[in-house]
Amino acid sequence: MGSLSIWHWLIVLLVVVLVFGTKKLKNIGSDLGGAVKGFKDGMKQAGDGTQTDPAQTNTTSAQVGQTPVAADKNTIDVEAKTKL
């Protein structure tokens, strides 16, 4: 009486498909799979001790803050440094 049978789960699945549609559910599944794959790759890199080289990144410290944009009073100017 406390557990749900297979028929309850099928009805819930049918309602979810009717509400969201199969295309949106497919997109959610592929996004979730990509996120899990990215997380696993990140964990593997952290476990191997390999890190990305800061010289390979597109934004260098010379480019950051080179041309200030019209900043309002709520903008905080910070300098990002990498830990070696």
What pLDDT sits at residue 66? 53
Report the amino acid identity of residue 75. T
Residues 6+ apart with CB under 8 A from 67: none
**Burial profile 40-77: b = 16 or more Cβ within 10 angstroms, e = fewer:** eeeeeeeeeeeeeeeeeeeeeeeeeeeeeeeeeeeeee
What pLDDT sits at residue 61? 47
3-state helix, strand, coil in the chain (%, to 5): 55, 0, 45
pTM value is: 0.40
- Structural contact between residues 34 and 25, judged by C-beta atoms closer than 8 angstroms: no
Q: Examine the pLDDT at 12 and tell me if it is beyond 60.
A: yes
Q: pLDDT tens for residues 23-72?
A: 888 888 899 999 999 999 998 887 776 555 555 545 444 555 555 555 56
